[in-house]
A = this chain, B = another copy of it.
Amino acid sequence: MAAVTNLEDSNSPDTVAAAPRAGKSAPTIYDIAEMAGVNPSTVSRALSKPGRVSAKTQKLIEDAAATLNYRVNVFARALPTGRTHTVGLIVSDITNPAYFDVIRGAEAAAAGEDYTLMLAESAESAAQELTTAQRMLATVDGIILASPRLADPEILALAKEKPVAVINRQVDGVHSIVADIDAGVGEAVRHLALMGHTSLAYVAGPEKSWMSARRWESLKARCAWSGLDAVQVAAGAPTVEGGRRTAAAVRASGATAVFCYNDLMAIGLMQELQLAGVVVPDKISILGFDNIFGSDFTTPPLSTIRSPLREAGAEALARILADLKGAGSDGAAEPLPTELVLRGSTGRVS
Protein backbone atom coordinates (compact mmCIF):
# COMPACT_ATOMS: atom_id res chain seq x y z
CA MET A 1 0.00 0.00 0.00
CA ALA A 2 1.32 3.38 -0.80
CA ALA A 3 -0.04 6.84 -0.71
CA VAL A 4 0.40 9.90 -2.75
CA THR A 5 0.39 12.88 -0.50
CA ASN A 6 -0.57 16.25 -1.70
CA LEU A 7 1.11 19.43 -0.82
CA GLU A 8 -1.33 22.22 -0.41
CA ASP A 9 0.31 23.16 2.81
CA SER A 10 2.25 26.28 2.13
CA ASN A 11 4.24 26.07 5.27
CA SER A 12 7.43 27.99 4.94
CA PRO A 13 10.48 25.77 4.59
CA ASP A 14 11.43 27.31 7.90
CA THR A 15 15.05 26.59 8.32
CA VAL A 16 15.24 26.82 12.05
CA ALA A 17 12.60 27.91 14.50
CA ALA A 18 11.17 24.41 14.80
CA ALA A 19 9.51 24.73 18.18
CA PRO A 20 8.93 28.13 19.69
CA ARG A 21 8.12 26.24 22.83
CA ALA A 22 10.90 24.83 24.87
CA GLY A 23 9.73 21.25 24.55
CA LYS A 24 10.48 19.45 21.36
CA SER A 25 6.94 18.23 20.96
CA ALA A 26 4.75 19.87 18.37
CA PRO A 27 2.39 22.65 19.45
CA THR A 28 -1.16 21.59 20.29
CA ILE A 29 -4.44 23.37 20.43
CA TYR A 30 -3.84 23.73 24.15
CA ASP A 31 -0.79 25.83 23.47
CA ILE A 32 -2.80 27.96 21.13
CA ALA A 33 -5.62 28.25 23.63
CA GLU A 34 -3.24 29.44 26.28
CA MET A 35 -1.62 31.94 23.99
CA ALA A 36 -4.92 33.30 22.75
CA GLY A 37 -6.52 33.21 26.16
CA VAL A 38 -9.43 30.98 25.18
CA ASN A 39 -10.59 27.44 25.73
CA PRO A 40 -9.11 24.59 23.71
CA SER A 41 -12.51 23.68 22.39
CA THR A 42 -12.86 27.16 20.99
CA VAL A 43 -9.58 26.68 19.19
CA SER A 44 -10.79 23.41 17.81
CA ARG A 45 -13.92 25.07 16.52
CA ALA A 46 -12.10 28.03 15.07
CA LEU A 47 -9.85 25.70 13.13
CA SER A 48 -12.37 23.25 11.81
CA LYS A 49 -15.85 24.72 12.00
CA PRO A 50 -15.81 27.91 9.96
CA GLY A 51 -18.23 30.49 11.26
CA ARG A 52 -18.74 28.87 14.62
CA VAL A 53 -16.72 31.49 16.48
CA SER A 54 -16.65 35.27 16.18
CA ALA A 55 -14.38 36.88 13.67
CA LYS A 56 -12.41 38.50 16.45
CA THR A 57 -11.58 35.28 18.28
CA GLN A 58 -11.00 33.57 14.98
CA LYS A 59 -8.29 36.01 14.12
CA LEU A 60 -6.76 35.80 17.57
CA ILE A 61 -6.54 32.04 17.29
CA GLU A 62 -5.28 31.99 13.74
CA ASP A 63 -2.51 34.36 14.65
CA ALA A 64 -1.49 32.28 17.60
CA ALA A 65 -1.56 29.16 15.46
CA ALA A 66 0.59 30.85 12.86
CA THR A 67 3.24 32.05 15.26
CA LEU A 68 3.38 28.64 16.90
CA ASN A 69 3.58 27.03 13.48
CA TYR A 70 0.76 24.74 14.43
CA ARG A 71 -0.25 21.67 12.43
CA VAL A 72 -3.12 19.44 13.43
CA ASN A 73 -2.26 16.03 14.65
CA VAL A 74 -4.07 13.89 12.15
CA PHE A 75 -4.25 10.93 14.49
CA ALA A 76 -5.84 12.88 17.26
CA ARG A 77 -8.35 14.17 14.79
CA ALA A 78 -9.01 10.80 13.23
CA LEU A 79 -9.60 9.09 16.53
CA PRO A 80 -12.96 10.63 17.38
CA THR A 81 -14.08 11.50 13.88
CA GLY A 82 -12.93 8.53 11.89
CA ARG A 83 -12.07 10.90 9.09
CA THR A 84 -8.52 10.81 7.81
CA HIS A 85 -8.63 13.05 4.77
CA THR A 86 -7.18 10.20 2.80
CA VAL A 87 -8.56 8.29 -0.15
CA GLY A 88 -7.21 4.95 -1.25
CA LEU A 89 -6.51 4.00 -4.86
CA ILE A 90 -5.99 0.37 -5.75
CA VAL A 91 -4.61 -0.45 -9.17
CA SER A 92 -4.29 -3.93 -10.52
CA ASP A 93 -0.69 -3.54 -11.64
CA ILE A 94 1.53 -0.63 -10.85
CA THR A 95 3.91 -1.38 -13.68
CA ASN A 96 1.21 -0.82 -16.23
CA PRO A 97 1.84 2.71 -17.49
CA ALA A 98 -1.84 3.09 -18.17
CA TYR A 99 -2.28 3.85 -14.49
CA PHE A 100 0.12 6.76 -14.54
CA ASP A 101 -2.59 9.02 -15.64
CA VAL A 102 -5.19 7.60 -13.34
CA ILE A 103 -2.85 8.20 -10.44
CA ARG A 104 -1.92 11.66 -11.58
CA GLY A 105 -5.52 12.62 -12.13
CA ALA A 106 -6.65 11.36 -8.76
CA GLU A 107 -3.66 12.89 -7.04
CA ALA A 108 -4.27 16.30 -8.52
CA ALA A 109 -7.93 16.20 -7.61
CA ALA A 110 -7.08 15.14 -4.08
CA ALA A 111 -4.45 17.80 -3.60
CA GLY A 112 -6.92 20.44 -4.65
CA GLU A 113 -9.24 19.43 -1.85
CA ASP A 114 -6.61 18.96 0.81
CA TYR A 115 -6.84 15.22 0.64
CA THR A 116 -4.10 12.64 0.45
CA LEU A 117 -4.04 9.70 -1.92
CA MET A 118 -2.95 6.30 -0.73
CA LEU A 119 -1.83 3.99 -3.48
CA ALA A 120 -1.78 0.23 -3.47
CA GLU A 121 -1.54 -2.49 -6.03
CA SER A 122 -3.22 -5.85 -6.17
CA ALA A 123 -0.80 -7.59 -8.50
CA GLU A 124 -3.68 -8.73 -10.70
CA SER A 125 -5.03 -10.89 -7.92
CA ALA A 126 -8.62 -10.69 -6.74
CA ALA A 127 -7.73 -12.13 -3.37
CA GLN A 128 -4.99 -9.64 -2.80
CA GLU A 129 -7.22 -6.87 -3.96
CA LEU A 130 -9.73 -7.78 -1.34
CA THR A 131 -7.29 -7.96 1.54
CA THR A 132 -5.67 -4.74 0.45
CA ALA A 133 -9.00 -3.00 0.26
CA GLN A 134 -10.03 -4.24 3.66
CA ARG A 135 -6.75 -3.20 5.14
CA MET A 136 -7.18 0.21 3.64
CA LEU A 137 -10.72 0.54 4.88
CA ALA A 138 -9.43 1.23 8.34
CA THR A 139 -7.35 4.22 7.36
CA VAL A 140 -9.03 5.91 4.45
CA ASP A 141 -12.26 7.81 3.94
CA GLY A 142 -13.00 6.19 0.60
CA ILE A 143 -11.58 3.83 -2.00
CA ILE A 144 -11.05 4.00 -5.74
CA LEU A 145 -10.73 0.69 -7.53
CA ALA A 146 -9.07 0.93 -10.92
CA SER A 147 -9.88 -2.05 -13.14
CA PRO A 148 -10.88 -4.21 -10.19
CA ARG A 149 -10.71 -7.97 -10.45
CA LEU A 150 -13.17 -8.36 -7.61
CA ALA A 151 -16.68 -9.70 -8.15
CA ASP A 152 -19.59 -7.30 -7.94
CA PRO A 153 -20.88 -8.50 -4.56
CA GLU A 154 -17.49 -7.96 -2.99
CA ILE A 155 -17.32 -4.46 -4.34
CA LEU A 156 -20.79 -3.76 -3.06
CA ALA A 157 -19.79 -5.06 0.35
CA LEU A 158 -16.89 -2.62 0.42
CA ALA A 159 -19.18 0.17 -0.68
CA LYS A 160 -21.33 -0.50 2.32
CA GLU A 161 -18.47 0.48 4.61
CA LYS A 162 -17.05 3.53 2.90
CA PRO A 163 -17.63 5.41 -0.34
CA VAL A 164 -16.25 3.49 -3.30
CA ALA A 165 -15.68 4.40 -6.93
CA VAL A 166 -14.63 1.99 -9.66
CA ILE A 167 -12.82 2.86 -12.85
CA ASN A 168 -13.13 0.80 -16.00
CA ARG A 169 -16.06 -1.09 -14.68
CA GLN A 170 -19.78 -0.77 -14.28
CA VAL A 171 -21.19 -1.82 -10.93
CA ASP A 172 -24.72 -0.81 -10.14
CA GLY A 173 -25.02 1.10 -6.92
CA VAL A 174 -21.39 2.16 -6.95
CA HIS A 175 -19.85 5.16 -8.62
CA SER A 176 -18.65 3.76 -11.93
CA ILE A 177 -16.35 5.67 -14.20
CA VAL A 178 -16.14 4.11 -17.63
CA ALA A 179 -14.95 5.40 -20.93
CA ASP A 180 -17.27 5.34 -23.88
CA ILE A 181 -15.33 2.72 -25.74
CA ASP A 182 -17.95 2.40 -28.45
CA ALA A 183 -16.82 5.69 -29.88
CA GLY A 184 -13.20 4.68 -30.24
CA VAL A 185 -14.02 1.17 -31.37
CA GLY A 186 -16.46 2.48 -33.94
CA GLU A 187 -13.85 4.78 -35.34
CA ALA A 188 -11.32 1.99 -35.45
CA VAL A 189 -13.57 -0.52 -37.15
CA ARG A 190 -14.62 2.01 -39.73
CA HIS A 191 -10.99 2.79 -40.42
CA LEU A 192 -10.06 -0.87 -40.79
CA ALA A 193 -13.00 -1.56 -43.03
CA LEU A 194 -11.86 1.29 -45.21
CA MET A 195 -8.46 -0.33 -45.40
CA GLY A 196 -10.02 -3.48 -46.73
CA HIS A 197 -10.05 -5.66 -43.64
CA THR A 198 -12.95 -8.04 -43.32
CA SER A 199 -11.84 -10.43 -40.63
CA LEU A 200 -10.98 -8.98 -37.24
CA ALA A 201 -9.77 -10.70 -34.11
CA TYR A 202 -9.76 -9.79 -30.44
CA VAL A 203 -7.15 -10.81 -27.93
CA ALA A 204 -8.76 -10.72 -24.51
CA GLY A 205 -7.27 -9.77 -21.17
CA PRO A 206 -7.83 -11.36 -17.77
CA GLU A 207 -11.07 -13.25 -17.52
CA LYS A 208 -12.10 -11.30 -14.44
CA SER A 209 -11.72 -8.05 -16.27
CA TRP A 210 -15.05 -6.41 -16.87
CA MET A 211 -13.43 -4.03 -19.29
CA SER A 212 -12.00 -6.80 -21.40
CA ALA A 213 -15.44 -8.29 -21.86
CA ARG A 214 -16.87 -4.89 -22.56
CA ARG A 215 -14.33 -4.18 -25.25
CA TRP A 216 -15.02 -7.43 -26.92
CA GLU A 217 -18.74 -6.85 -26.90
CA SER A 218 -18.31 -3.42 -28.35
CA LEU A 219 -16.10 -4.76 -31.10
CA LYS A 220 -18.42 -7.64 -31.85
CA ALA A 221 -21.43 -5.38 -32.05
CA ARG A 222 -19.72 -2.91 -34.28
CA CYS A 223 -18.44 -5.58 -36.62
CA ALA A 224 -21.87 -7.18 -36.84
CA TRP A 225 -23.27 -3.83 -37.77
CA SER A 226 -20.61 -3.33 -40.41
CA GLY A 227 -20.85 -6.84 -41.75
CA LEU A 228 -17.35 -7.84 -40.73
CA ASP A 229 -16.16 -11.02 -39.11
CA ALA A 230 -14.97 -10.78 -35.53
CA VAL A 231 -13.68 -13.54 -33.32
CA GLN A 232 -12.03 -13.71 -29.97
CA VAL A 233 -8.93 -15.76 -30.63
CA ALA A 234 -7.02 -15.73 -27.38
CA ALA A 235 -6.76 -14.35 -23.87
CA GLY A 236 -3.96 -13.86 -21.43
CA ALA A 237 -2.31 -11.77 -18.77
CA PRO A 238 -2.56 -8.07 -19.59
CA THR A 239 1.18 -7.72 -19.96
CA VAL A 240 3.77 -7.66 -22.71
CA GLU A 241 4.58 -11.26 -21.96
CA GLY A 242 0.91 -12.17 -22.03
CA GLY A 243 0.65 -10.61 -25.46
CA ARG A 244 3.59 -12.57 -26.76
CA ARG A 245 1.99 -15.82 -25.80
CA THR A 246 -1.03 -15.13 -27.95
CA ALA A 247 0.95 -14.78 -31.17
CA ALA A 248 0.50 -18.34 -32.34
CA ALA A 249 -3.26 -18.24 -31.85
CA VAL A 250 -3.49 -14.93 -33.62
CA ARG A 251 -1.55 -16.22 -36.62
CA ALA A 252 -3.61 -19.33 -36.78
CA SER A 253 -6.83 -17.32 -36.81
CA GLY A 254 -6.16 -15.88 -40.20
CA ALA A 255 -7.49 -12.49 -39.19
CA THR A 256 -5.88 -9.54 -40.89
CA ALA A 257 -6.42 -7.11 -38.07
CA VAL A 258 -6.31 -7.72 -34.35
CA PHE A 259 -7.48 -5.67 -31.40
CA CYS A 260 -5.71 -6.34 -28.14
CA TYR A 261 -7.14 -5.81 -24.69
CA ASN A 262 -4.48 -3.23 -23.96
CA ASP A 263 -1.31 -1.69 -25.34
CA LEU A 264 0.95 -3.90 -23.32
CA MET A 265 -0.45 -7.02 -24.95
CA ALA A 266 -0.44 -5.38 -28.34
CA ILE A 267 3.24 -4.60 -28.00
CA GLY A 268 4.07 -8.12 -26.91
CA LEU A 269 2.05 -9.58 -29.73
CA MET A 270 3.69 -7.35 -32.27
CA GLN A 271 7.16 -8.22 -31.03
CA GLU A 272 6.48 -11.92 -31.22
CA LEU A 273 4.90 -11.68 -34.64
CA GLN A 274 7.83 -9.70 -35.98
CA LEU A 275 10.21 -12.24 -34.54
CA ALA A 276 8.40 -14.83 -36.62
CA GLY A 277 8.83 -12.74 -39.71
CA VAL A 278 5.32 -11.37 -39.92
CA VAL A 279 5.41 -7.82 -41.19
CA VAL A 280 3.24 -5.30 -39.36
CA PRO A 281 1.09 -3.78 -40.68
CA ASP A 282 1.54 -5.31 -44.16
CA LYS A 283 0.53 -8.78 -43.15
CA ILE A 284 -1.47 -7.95 -40.08
CA SER A 285 -2.72 -4.79 -38.42
CA ILE A 286 -2.51 -4.41 -34.66
CA LEU A 287 -4.48 -2.15 -32.37
CA GLY A 288 -4.19 -1.61 -28.66
CA PHE A 289 -6.20 0.22 -26.02
CA ASP A 290 -5.10 2.99 -23.64
CA ASN A 291 -2.34 4.81 -25.50
CA ILE A 292 0.20 4.23 -22.78
CA PHE A 293 3.66 5.64 -22.33
CA GLY A 294 5.96 3.86 -24.74
CA SER A 295 3.31 2.82 -27.22
CA ASP A 296 4.93 5.16 -29.71
CA PHE A 297 8.41 3.73 -29.15
CA THR A 298 7.73 0.60 -31.13
CA THR A 299 8.39 0.09 -34.79
CA PRO A 300 5.95 0.62 -36.26
CA PRO A 301 4.46 2.83 -33.54
CA LEU A 302 1.28 1.36 -32.15
CA SER A 303 -2.14 2.47 -33.24
CA THR A 304 -4.40 2.49 -30.24
CA ILE A 305 -7.63 3.68 -28.74
CA ARG A 306 -7.03 6.39 -26.22
CA SER A 307 -8.93 6.49 -22.95
CA PRO A 308 -9.14 9.60 -20.80
CA LEU A 309 -7.50 7.94 -17.84
CA ARG A 310 -6.46 11.12 -16.17
CA GLU A 311 -9.97 12.45 -16.22
CA ALA A 312 -11.21 9.13 -14.93
CA GLY A 313 -8.94 9.35 -11.91
CA ALA A 314 -10.01 12.88 -11.17
CA GLU A 315 -13.67 12.04 -11.61
CA ALA A 316 -13.47 9.05 -9.31
CA LEU A 317 -11.94 11.13 -6.60
CA ALA A 318 -14.47 13.88 -7.05
CA ARG A 319 -17.33 11.42 -6.66
CA ILE A 320 -15.96 10.07 -3.43
CA LEU A 321 -15.40 13.52 -2.03
CA ALA A 322 -18.94 14.44 -2.95
CA ASP A 323 -20.19 11.41 -1.03
CA LEU A 324 -18.07 12.39 1.92
CA LYS A 325 -19.39 15.89 1.88
CA GLY A 326 -22.84 14.42 2.11
CA ALA A 327 -23.79 15.90 -1.20
CA GLY A 328 -26.41 13.67 -2.70
CA SER A 329 -24.62 11.33 -5.03
CA ASP A 330 -25.88 12.29 -8.41
CA GLY A 331 -26.64 9.77 -11.06
CA ALA A 332 -24.14 8.26 -13.41
CA ALA A 333 -22.37 10.99 -15.30
CA GLU A 334 -22.03 10.58 -19.00
CA PRO A 335 -19.14 8.29 -19.98
CA LEU A 336 -15.83 9.86 -20.88
CA PRO A 337 -14.94 10.02 -24.56
CA THR A 338 -12.41 7.79 -26.28
CA GLU A 339 -10.69 8.31 -29.56
CA LEU A 340 -8.67 6.47 -32.14
CA VAL A 341 -4.98 7.28 -32.27
CA LEU A 342 -3.72 6.21 -35.65
CA ARG A 343 -0.06 5.37 -35.89
CA GLY A 344 1.88 2.85 -37.88
CA SER A 345 0.67 -0.57 -36.75
CA THR A 346 -2.49 -0.46 -38.82
CA GLY A 347 -2.65 -0.33 -42.58
CA ARG A 348 -4.15 -1.52 -45.79
CA VAL A 349 -4.72 -5.22 -46.12
CA SER A 350 -2.23 -6.76 -48.52
**A16→B100 CA distance, assembly (Å):** 32
Q: Can you name 29 A-B residue pairings with CB atoms under 8 Å?
A: A1-B117, A2-B89, A2-B116, A2-B117, A2-B119, A4-B135, A5-B132, A5-B134, A7-B154, A7-B157, A10-B157, A11-B135, A13-B127, A13-B134, A17-B173, A20-B142, A20-B323, A20-B324, A21-B160, A23-B160, A26-B138, A75-B78, A76-B79, A79-B79, A95-B100, A97-B97, A107-B121, A119-B119, A294-B297
A5 touches B94 (CB 8 A): no
Does A156 belong to the interface (CB within 8 Å)?
yes
Interface size on A, residues (CB 8 A): 81
Does A30 belong to the interface (CB within 8 Å)?
no
Shortest CB distance A269–B (Å): 13
Tell me which residues across on chain B come within 8 A of A9, comparing CB atoms.
Answer: 131, 134-135
Does A350 belong to the interface (CB within 8 Å)?
no
- Residue-wise, chain A 156-170 has the 8 Å CB interface mask toward B (1 for contact) of 110111111000000
Among A4, A74, A159, A162, chain B packs the most CB atoms within 10 A around the CB of A4
Shortest CB distance A151–B (Å): 11
In residues 90-144 of chain A, which contact B (Cβ within 8 Å)?
Answer: 94-95, 97, 100, 103-104, 107, 111, 116-121, 127-128, 130-132, 134-136, 138-139, 142
A131 touches B4 (CB 8 A): yes
**A16→B134 CA distance, assembly (Å):** 13
Tell me which residues across on chain B come within 8 A of A17, comparing CB atoms.
Answer: 173, 328-329
**A324→B9 CA distance, assembly (Å):** 22
Does A54 belong to the interface (CB within 8 Å)?
no
A161 touches B23 (CB 8 A): yes
Tell me which residues across on chain B come within 8 A of A162, comparing CB atoms.
Answer: 20
